[in-house]
Amino acid sequence: SGTPVKVAVTGAAGQIGYSLLFRLASGALLGPDRPIELRLLEITPALKALEGVVMELEDCAFPTLAGVQIGDDAEQIFDGVNLALLVGARPRGPGMERADLLEANGAIFTAQGKALNKVAADDVRIGVTGNPANTNALIAMTNAPDIPQERFTALTRLDHNRAISQLAAKTGAAVSDIKKMTIWGNHSATQYPDIFHAEIAGRNAAEVVDDQSWIENDFIPTVAKRGAAIIEARGSSSAASAASATIDAARDWLTGTPEGDWVSMAVASDGSYGIPEGVIYSYPVTTRDGRWEIVQGLEVDDFSRGKMDATAAELVEERDAVKELGLI
């Protein structure tokens, strides 16, 4: 037990929030013995709906939930937080250009970066789920100069989990037999889900599959376009799976990856694998004691190189666009 961990969630009244808050409150992050205090940030017009969600949280009588605070002031909500899950973002509306989207989100993530810089706990870790997640993380990171850069990550764990499940379905393996999956790059359609280093029950996954055409024409596009397929089927974007991945990512960051496996996380590139420094790029990482480390020394063939560079180029473009807008 001990002192409650203070976890902030932004966009708490949204779709993902409706799943995420209940999982967090029930102990999915650090187990049922570690009390958790939720700090929920929303925009003013959504506070009433958020009050309703808080009523439901109360009605669950979760033993793990030590307290809930809601509000529309980032400096109040982020005060002393140990973990900030930045989920709320501005969705792309009809007729909105990409630059408009970057600008609208830029305003949100500059303000939240500054607020975290000012009031978060010294050990704060920040996970960005709201899209465009990688570039939103870059904006928040750049606006929080006193927080070490490695404390900012963006979510590609949903893509990672989707890739594992697609590979399991193709091979008949159990998801628990699949290790060392990798998502490279941007959480967008240019991402590169890579099974060349993955293992199925200890055997190389690409060799087990033995079907380059499936990898190129089925697996990669299915994973990369899974979000669109869910919108098409469900009428709204993935929410429960995104919440689940947000928790997986935060839990593994805080508690460590198992021996012999790794996870995908978008982190500030240090130039590893020839990716330009500074962009928030998804890499295979291992984690320990709340720190991540990029897995080094993986062999990259021409096919993978092309895909890794294409998704890096998109991130460089996004970075240049937000630089131009004066957001970083």
Q: Does residue 87 touch ligand NAX according to CB under 6 A?
A: yes
Q: Does residue 10 touch ligand NAX according to CB under 6 A?
A: yes
| Distance, C-alpha 259 to centroid of its chain | 22
Annotation marks residue 187 as catalytic: yes
Q: Does residue 89 touch ligand NAX according to CB under 6 A?
A: yes
Tell me the helix, strand and coil percentages in the chain, rounded to 5.
45, 20, 35
Q: Which of residues 244-303 bind ligand NAX (CB under 6 A)?
A: none
Q: Is 17 annotated as a binding residue?
A: yes
Task: Report the residue number whose CB is nearest to ligand NAX.
Answer: 14
Among 131, 161, 257, 287, the residue binding ligand NAX under the rule CB under 6 A is 131
Q: Does residue 16 touch ligand NAX according to CB under 6 A?
A: yes
- Rounded Cα distance between 135 and 141, Å, is 10
Q: Which of 183, 211, 209 is nearest to 308 (CA)?
A: 183
Least Å distance, CB 19 to ligand NAX, is: 9
Three-class DSSP category at 212? helix
Q: Does residue 42 touch ligand NAX according to CB under 6 A?
A: yes
| Distance, C-alpha 44 to centroid of its chain | 25
Window of 23-31, 52-60, 81-89, 215-223 that interacts with ligand NAX by CB under 6 A: 81-89
Least Å distance, CB 2 to ligand NAX, is: 29
| Distance, C-alpha 79 to centroid of its chain | 22
Strand 178-179 with 199-200, pairing: antiparallel
Q: Does residue 77 touch ligand NAX according to CB under 6 A?
A: no
- Rounded Cα distance between 121 and 256, Å, is 20
Q: Does residue 155 touch ligand NAX according to CB under 6 A?
A: yes
- From the list 39, 90, 187, 197, the catalytic residue is 187
321, 323, 326, 328: CA torsion to nearest 10: 130
Q: Does residue 15 touch ligand NAX according to CB under 6 A?
A: yes
Window of 14-22, 63-71, 302-310, 318-326 that interacts with ligand NAX by CB under 6 A: 14-22
Least Å distance, CB 140 to ligand NAX, is: 12
CA angle 40, 101, 327 (to 5 degrees): 80
| DSSP string over 217-255 | IIIHHHHHTHHHHHHHHHSS---HHHHHHHHHHHHHHHH
Q: Is 16 annotated as a binding residue?
A: yes
Cβ-based neighbours of 234, under 8 Å, separated by 6 or more: none
Q: Which helix (H) or strand (E) holds 307?
A: helix 302-324
Q: Is 98 annotated as a binding residue?
A: yes
Window of 13-21, 95-103, 137-145, 251-259 that interacts with ligand NAX by CB under 6 A: 13-21
Known binding residues are: 11-17, 92, 98, 105, 112, 129-131, 162
Binding residues for ligand NAX, rule: CB under 6 A, are 10-11, 13-17, 41-43, 46, 87-91, 108, 129-131, 133, 155, 158, 187, 227, 237-239, 242
Known binding residues for substrate are: 92, 98, 131, 162
Known binding residues for NAD(+) are: 11-17, 105, 112, 129-131
Q: Could you give the residue numbers annotated as active site?
A: 187
